[in-house]
Structure 1
Amino acid sequence: MSFRNFKMVSYVVYGRGSFNQLDEILAPQRKGDAPMVFLLDHFFEGKPLAGRIPLRGKDKLIFADVTYEPKTTQVDALAAQLKEEFGTISGVIGIGGGSVMDLAKAVSLMMTNPGSSADYQGWDLVKVPGVYKAGIPTLSGTGAEVSRTTVLTGPTRKLGMNSDFTPFDQIVLDPELTKDAPANQRFYTGMDCYIHCIESLQGTYINEFSKSYGEKALQLCQEIYVHRNSWDEECDDKLMMASYAGGMSIAYSQVGVAHAVSYGLSYLLGTKHGIGNCIVMNHLEEYYPEGVKEFKFMVEKNNIDIPKGICSGLTDEQFDTMINVSMGMKPLWENALGKNWEQIMTREKLRTLYEKL
């Protein structure tokens, strides 16, 4: 058997207030007068964080509209705009939730790789390192800060640019940046982490490496969402580390049914990743009985509303589109159900599942 030799984030800084060190962290990465490009979640437009970004020289601050999750067209347009404006840049810094971090990783890669980002949706298709890239999460849970993928919706599928060139060169984990996150949003991304852990720990790909990270991340999620009655600074600290550990857990294993089904929703309906996972998880008793039971308890305890009926009124053609996207996530299904997953999860069975959502 061959063992995965996977690329991790090169540098990590963690701690409250660590964002203030960004200027000195970036200084050695600057190439002459080539600018640093900061992609900041549009949620922060007109908020204090925008004024704390250490702009130097020709640096550019772009408010990234992540109303919808990143599309290959958005990535290509941004990379083309930067090439036209500057020729070359020193690096891309993504500051925001998972969508902004994915956008930053993808733009970094498309500054140096030819063609469209849609050409690289898949496994190990990227051949050239991107420009320097750093990720700074302002929401915790997606694990995008440590993953080797950048999930994009393309013309024919929703699939990441999974490669050794995708992980960030630097991440800054400052729990202070997450304190103003809207409660619902914070819950959905936190559940993304919880669901990662359930899928990873119960998957066929599991090993002690993934298990060590997954169990810790799961424990942190339970401390926050099951045992706590109110939110405080410690919750922000714990969730940020749960996100990191949850992302590391998947690095050597894989996610499962909730993610595979949620990709179909996202591709067709534009459902955001965290909320999509929650909508699906609500109906997965057959696959994750204990996890779903605990998930439902957390939803109720935290007074969170999970949308229902989002697939009612869809046409056969639309159901087929979602099924095709979902069935394309082979490693996820294999991790969840084993090598003969296609005998277990038939198109008919998947259609029935989508109809429940």
Structure 2
Amino acid sequence: MSLTDPPSIADTPHSATIYGRKLAVAPMLDWTDRHCRYFHRLLSPHALLYTEMVTSAALVRGRQLRLLEHDPAEAPVALQLGGSDPAELAEAARLGAGAGYHEINLNVGCPSDRVQSGEFGACLMRTPDRVADCVKAMQDAVATPVTVKCRIGVDDQDPEIALQVFTEAVQATGIRKLIVHARKAWLQGLSPKENRDIPPLDYPRVFRLKQDFPDLEIILNGGLTTVDASVAALEHVDGVMLGRAAYHDPYILAQLEHALYGTALPSREQILQRMLGYCETTINAGTSLKHVTRHVLGLYQGQAGARRFRRVLSEGAHREGARPELMLTAMPSASPAAESQA
């Protein structure tokens, strides 16, 4: 396969199972859309990718099936659902499985006001039996693996107790994987953005959870920003999930892929070359280049010429008739003054 060819399913080590994967990219609202996931797949062939959270109501009541669109080359990719009604989640899971997703994940971690008003997301940490009912309904509806992403607790809960009780309830359904954001969620007093930073990280609590539930695959999420920290965490848990670090500095995915799987480390330029065909196809389908390239802006984070890369790509992609070759023009190597633009 040439560097300009898009990857095919055969080129992606996705297999039928989503278990045993050491690396994942977190579901992030407004960020991990299908264009972002295609880009991330080029950086890491082995990572498990997640959609933005899709509410069960949007799929079942709103019939917004366009939310399920994805490229086969993204595989393996998981659909994250938000909801709290077992029957509705079961139907949403059926739609997701029918669309070809490899995992159906239930969101029990989002702290936004909209999610709370719908009685799902992080507030479900208070009702583990209800979560278990939702999981069981989804499992009965599909053969696709069902998983849960949660916090270590909410508000005044004691994570030592709350996370234990929660995990016991969901494990009783036969679930095999739990993704844990190693922070509490404060549903009162903190904004969703503040909930990503202010509550302190508690990795040791997640590590103890793995010790208490050795047969459950535990994936650590929250605050992982370097290759070294991610590799070190894997001494205690089964996998790591990166969020904002993977978006703002996406090349870390290629570096982690290399560290964890020994695969060849592609250059940033090679990644851009491989994006050309996808961008061409996307533009021909009626999507503006800017909707793809906004996810690529961090590729040169920390490198000489990064500022110029972001500026050329941001300004150029918004112009009418912008073509994929703009990415090559934006590359630092395309500018003799790249060093002074960093």
Task: Indicate the TM-score class for this superposition, using the shorter chain for normalisation.
Answer: 0.3 to 0.5
Normalised to the residue count of structure 2, the TM-score between the two structures is 0.32
Normalised to the residue count of structure 1, the TM-score between the two structures is 0.31
